[in-house]
Amino acid sequence: MSMLFCNINFNQKNKSDLLGYCENEKTKVIIPVNAALIVGANFRERFFDILNNNYVTFDGQIPYFVACLFNGKYQKYIKLAGSDIVYDFSEFAAKKHYKMFFLGGKKESNQTAVNVIKEKYNISIEGYSPDFEDYPFSEKFNIICLEKINIFKPDILFVGFGAPKQEYWIDDNIEFLSENGVKYAIGCGGTFDFVSQKIKRAPVFFQKIGLEGLYRLYQEPSKMRWNRLIDSCRFFKYIWHKPEFENRNVTL
């Protein structure tokens, strides 16, 4: 069962949908989507297509609540943010004896997050944080990332380059990932910062009333964070309007 919201197909009801068997040994791509990504997808055709051809979850209380309100299925869908899914998959990896890899994020956050998950779940996990680059990534950047994956052979891969760069990278290398046994690839944005506690996640109350973005702005005040928060509000437009693909620099 799926839910069409803001022109995007949100096609999960629960965690078991995400942890299900990967058909034809193809990597299952999972993308938690918040309000800012909804806006970005309605301007970027490639990103829009990637979302609608993979597994999309709600990451953001307000889009989730509005979507369920419009679809009349509030009790049949759940919100699964990237910063929550990482723990679900860590527990899943422990049960299945799967290996996990964290790719991206800041170097300190990446390594600390790896250590936190390893200590808590006692799983085989490694990570690598390449130097920051804009997309499209350089050949050197890509080769090193793929070499790390080829050597470790993870079953579960979290990619934290930020959207839509992480989704483009997964899409560019999907055949390689499938051939190298990666069962799940998850675009996770700033999840490593939260796992490492370099950035504190908003209290549950703020999460439930949809003010996580405001809490993040409080911790990291910047023009970029403010613009992203304002831009996120534009997702309401796409409840009724079709995508408007054009060359526009949407803050993601």
Provide the CATH number for the domain around residue 92: 3.40.50.2300
Statement to judge: residues 154 and 210 lie in one domain: no
Helices 139-152/165-172 angle, 10° precision: 70
- 108 is a domain residue: yes
Please give the tally of structural domains in the chain. Answer: 2
Per-residue pLDDT reduced to its tens digit, 147-178: 999 999 999 999 999 999 999 999 999 999 99
Residue at which a domain ends, from 196, 215, 235: 196
Q: Considering the entire predicted model, what is its pTM?
A: 0.91
Would you say residue 24 lies in a domain? no
Judge residue 82's burial from the number of C-beta atoms within 10 Å of its C-beta, 0-12 exposed, 13-18 middle, 19 or more buried. Answer: buried
CA distance 90 to 127: 14
Q: Virtual CA dihedral for 182, 188, 189, 191, nearest 10 degrees?
A: -120
Element (H, E) at 101: strand 99-104
Length of the chain: 252
Segment 95-129, tens digit of pLDDT:
999 999 999 999 999 999 999 999 999 999 999 99
Is there a contact between 87 and 141 (Cβ–Cβ < 8 Å)? no
Say yes or no: 67 and 86 in one domain.
no
Count of Cβ atoms closer than 10 Å to residue 174 Cβ? 17
Short-list 15, 1, 14, 17, CA closest to 72 = 1
Residue 169 Cα distances to 30, 58, 59, 115, 141, angstroms: 13, 21, 20, 25, 11
Can you give the residue range of the structural domain that contains 217? Answer: 31-80+200-252
Cβ burial, residue 14 (10 Å; 0-12/13-18/19+): exposed
**pLDDT one digit per residue (tens) for the chain, 252 residues:** 678 899 999 987 677 778 876 666 789 999 999 999 999 999 999 999 999 999 999 998 889 989 888 877 555 677 888 889 999 999 999 999 999 999 999 999 999 999 999 999 999 999 999 999 999 999 999 999 999 999 999 999 999 999 999 999 999 999 999 999 999 999 999 999 999 998 877 676 666 666 676 656 566 666 666 666 777 789 999 999 999 996 555 444
